[in-house]
Amino acid sequence: MSQQLFEAMTQSVIEGEVEEAERLAQLVLAEGIDPLEAINRGFIVGLDQVGEQFGCGNLFLPDMVQAAEAMKTAVAILEPEIARRGVTRQILGKIVIGTVEGDIHDIGKTLVATMLAASGFEVHDLGVNVPIAKLIQKAVEVEADIIAVSALLTTTMVKQKALIGELEARDLHSRLKVMIGGAPVTPAWAESIGADGYSEDAISAVALAKRLVGA
C-alpha cells in the first residue's frame, strides 16, 4: 500500500498536480504515515526526476516550477506533523529574498525563489518593493544564511549596494551572504559593490546559493 502511495506522490510532483499532492499529503496525516518518509521516498523523488529531465533539456521551466509548487504544497501540509514528532527536515540553508525598494518587477525573483525552494533551501520571499531594513530584519529573525536581492532597473540597482553597505555598518555581512540578480546586473557590478555572488538566471542561482552555504 505504502509503496503505491509513495509512487503516487512522486507522480503528483512530476505532473505538477498541486491538488493531487495536497490530497496525498492529507492522506499521510490521516493514515499516520511517517511524514519525513513520505517526503523522502515520495515527493522528493519526483522533484529529483524533474530536475534531472530539466537538466537534460527534456523539460521546460514551467514543468520545473509546477513540480516545485506541488512539492511545496505537500511539504507545507506535512511540516507541522514533522515538528510535532520532534524531528527536523534537512535543509541546505535559509534564504531571504526580495526585489529592492522602488522596483516592482516580480517574475525573475519569484523564479529564483521557486528554484531555490525546490532545491532544498528554506526560502522567505518578501515580494517586491522591499525596503532594506525589512530584508535585514527578516534575515536576522530567521537566522538566514543568505539575502538574495533582485533589481530590474539601472536606477534601482543601487539599492543592492546600499543593502551591503547597511550590512557592513551593522557588522552583519560576515555571517550573512548577499547574492544579487536582475537584467542590468553584471559580475562587474557584483564585484564593485562587494556582493558575495551574482547569477544570470535561476538555474545558476541555485548553484551559487549551494556554493555560498558550502553545500
Partner 1 sequence: MDLGLQIDRETQRVRFPPVMVEAALKQAPAHFTLCARNPKLDLPLDGRHGYLSLDGSAPNVLDLDSGEARPSGKADLAAAVRLADAMPQIAFLWPTLSAGDCPAHVQPLHELEVLLTQSSKHVQAMTAVDPLNARGTLEMAAAVVGGREALRRRPIISNFQCSVSPLAYDEGALEAALIFAEAGIPTGFVVMTIGCGTAPATLAGNAAQANAEVLAGLTLLQLFYPGTPTFYGFCPTMLELRRGGVTCGGPEDFWLQAAGCQMARFYGIPASIGTFATGAKSSDWQAGVDNGISGAVSQFCGADMMSGAGLLNGARLFSFEQLLLDCEIYDILRTLNTEVVMDAESLALDVIDAVGPQGHFLAAKHTRRHMRAVWQPALMDRTPWDEWVKLGRPGALDRAKEQVRQLLATHQPDPLQAERLQEIVAAYERM
Site string for partner 1, 75-104 (x = CB under 8 A): -----------------------------x
Report, in Å, the least distance between residue 138 CB and partner 1: 23
Are the CB atoms for 153 and 186 separated by under 8 Å? no
| Number of residues engaging partner 1 in binding (CB under 8 A) | 23
**Interaction residues for partner 1, span 50-79 (CB under 8 A):** 57, 60-62
Are the CB atoms for 185 and 163 separated by under 8 Å? no
Opening angle at CA 91, ends 83 and 79, nearest 5: 25
Q: Tell me how far apart the alpha carbons of residues 162 and 186 are, in angstroms, rounded to a whole number.
A: 17
Which cell goes with 32? 499516520
The answer to the question of residue 188 lying near partner 1 (CB under 8 A) is yes
Are the CB atoms for 114 and 69 separated by under 8 Å? yes
Closer residue to partner 1 (CB): 91 or 203: 203
Closer residue to partner 1 (CB): 10 or 114: 114
The one-letter amino acid code at 196 reads D
Q: Considering only 6-14, 67-75, 118-126, 197-205, which stretch makes contact with partner 1 by CB under 8 A?
A: 197-205
Considering only residues 201, 207, 211, 215, which one is a binding residue for partner 1 as defined by CB under 8 A? 201
- Distance, CA of 136 to chain centre: 17
**C-alpha to C-alpha distances, 1 to 5, 8, 58, 147, nearest whole angstrom:** 6, 11, 31, 43
Which cell goes with 80? 507541522
The answer to the question of residue 189 lying near partner 1 (CB under 8 A) is yes
Considering only residues 142, 154, 170, 215, which one is a binding residue for partner 1 as defined by CB under 8 A? 154
Considering only residues 76, 87, 183, 207, which one is a binding residue for partner 1 as defined by CB under 8 A? 183
Q: Which spans of this chain sit near partner 1 (rule: CB under 8 A)?
A: 57, 60-62, 104-108, 111, 154-158, 183-184, 186, 188-189, 201-203
